[in-house]
């Protein structure tokens, strides 16, 4: 099986769709829509709140692209090894050390740690009571 057959077959979704289109081109277009030069045109009206949502969406899509790159390097490298003795099939397990559940837990763990740290050590000052100034 050649590289072209791998790209057109087994790796099409993760390489072309997820990595190239959703992980690269769509975030670039989203960020271009929020550029200061385009925001001055009468055709594109992007408010501050929408701009923040576009930034969040672009960041999440870039993450999808990064995970797709990692998938393609690891799994793609095993599907087409130099010795031609690599894995020919890879099935994602649900449980186990390399399963979907453990992967999801490891992806959620930094957010849980961040939430706990924000509760214990808030990064902002508490709202100070406003005392009227006698004048």
Q: Which residue has the tokens 């999801």?
A: 104
Range with top average pLDDT, 36-50, 57-71, 81-95: 57-71
Q: Is 127 inside a domain boundary?
A: no
Q: Is 17 inside a domain boundary?
A: yes
Structure-block tokens of residue 98 = 């390399």
pLDDT-based confidence at residue 26 (cuts at 50, 70, 90): very high
| 105-119 burial: b if 16+ Cβ within 10 Å, else e | eeeeeeeeeeeeeee
- Whether residues 62 and 109 fall in one domain: no
Look at the chain and report how many structural domains it folds into: 2
Q: Is 130 inside a domain boundary?
A: no
Half-sphere exposure of 27 (CA within 13 A, CB side): 18
Q: Is the pTM of this model over 0.75?
A: no
Range of the domain at 98: 91-121
Q: Is 133 inside a domain boundary?
A: no
- Whether residues 48 and 70 fall in one domain: yes
- Whether residues 45 and 96 fall in one domain: no
């Amino acid at each position: 099986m050649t590289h072209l057959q791998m790209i057109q077959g087994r790796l099409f979704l993760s390489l072309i769709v997820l990595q190239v289109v959703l992980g690269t081109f769509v975030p670039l277009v989203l960020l271009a829509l929020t550029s200061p030069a385009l925001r001055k045109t009468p055709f594109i009206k992007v408010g501050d709140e929408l701009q923040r949502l576009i930034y969040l969406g672009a960041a999440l899509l870039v993450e999808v692209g990064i995970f797709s790159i990692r998938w393609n390097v690891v799994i793609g490298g095993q599907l087409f090894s130099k010795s031609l003795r690599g894995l020919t099939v890879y099935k994602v397990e649900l449980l186990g050390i390399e399963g979907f559940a453990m992967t999801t837990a490891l992806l959620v763990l930094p957010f849980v740690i961040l939430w706990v740290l924000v509760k214990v050590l808030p990064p902002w000052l508490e709202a100070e009571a406003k005392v009227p100034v006698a004048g």
